[in-house]
Structure 1
Amino acid sequence: MLTKVFRALLPAVVSPVLVVSAAAPAVADEISTPAIKDSTILRSTVSAAGCPDLNAYKCTLGRTDTLQANTGGLAYVRALIGFQLAVPPSSVTRCTVQLAAFTKPLHNPVEVTVARAASAQWDEDAVDGENAPESGKPFTVATAWPHANLGPIDITPACKRAASDGQFSIYVGVQTGEIEVWSKDSGNPAILHVTQAQRAGTAPVAV
């Protein structure tokens, strides 16, 4: 009987715990930066009041408060927007652009296109329809709905092809209709959201 009681009072044997390091999941960081420059690029075959020689191609619109895009009539108007990546292009996993609010509500859906500009080397004070960089083909289309602002647009292909210094530019256009959004000079620049995948670390796991 005493033997049984003595055994009951003995401390329980604790199994040893082995701590090992296991790989922790990769953590994605999002970095948001404003556009560094923007301008409306006007190309039209009709006379344009206020432009040098009444030539729409010679209009410099990089210091106006709005950005425009339309395909109406004989005019072809797009917004040219420049960005500076804060991370190496090779580390980008995803990036989106959020344009500023429309200056007036849309009454019909508009298909908004984004194309990559061939160069990021242009000056807001001098860029016009004659010297603006060439445009690639649109690589994405987003729908702008009536009485709502445009949501984020995925522009990852343009980010991944940024120059070695991290700069790149995009053209924002429309398939039909027109849009007008606030520009950098109004205090409402387009915002670039970049997701960068971080290298996986290690975290202790008890077994």
Structure 2
Amino acid sequence: MTAKEYKDLTMSEFTKAAEIYESDNAGVYNMCKKDYPDVLAELEKEPFNDLLDCGCGTGPMLTLLHEKYPEKHYTGIDLTPKMIEVAKRKNMKNVELIVGDCENLPFADNSFDVVICCESFHHYPNPQDFFNSVYRVLRPNGRLVLRDMTMSSAALWFCNHIEMPFIHLAGKGDVKIYGRDDIQKLCDGAGLQMESFEKRGFCRLHCVARKAG
């Protein structure tokens, strides 16, 4: 499929999911809630003022951050207009919400202390473009906190080559699941230093990468 076809599937999927995304009836999307505590714990390790949430959806992670650190400035970006529409209903102070493409971030160079991306990266058809954009918008010594899915090598192959076509038939815009070597290459290509890569819990990728100071 083309990049546009992947993105069209993703927008269709999440337009349908937007109204229930944070409810108890969210189905598979409820799994995303398991990422939030680990991201919060990671952010507690270093001070920050300006944070960008890539693939922010309806803003569940931004809501938690806003409650914990209300004085900081947050920006959320998502490809699906309906997700941003629902997020804006929360009327959170110091939170800017934008419809846009995470592979071509519409922000100035050196704008953010930290970029987070939770469970949306596997929808990006041009992953190197995303990493390059993250590098550009991060300030020196800024970091990327990436949460997504990962698996063993054999399971990755099966998922990416056998299961993925059926996922597309079901109307989902998943592109690829990544392993450590994949993420390392993307970091190297963008000029980011991968500081940690862990498989946590069930098929969870937890990665921290940094832009040199």
State the TM bucket, normalised to the shorter chain: under 0.3
More helix by share: 2
Instruction: Work out which of the two has the higher radius of gyration on C-alpha atoms and give 1 or 2.
Output: 1
Q: Please, what TM-score do these two structures have when normalized by structure 1?
A: 0.25
More strand by share: 1
Q: Taking CA–CA contacts closer than 8 Å with sequence separation of 6 or more, which of the two structures ends up with the larger relative contact order? A: 1
Q: Please, what TM-score do these two structures have when normalized by structure 2?
A: 0.25
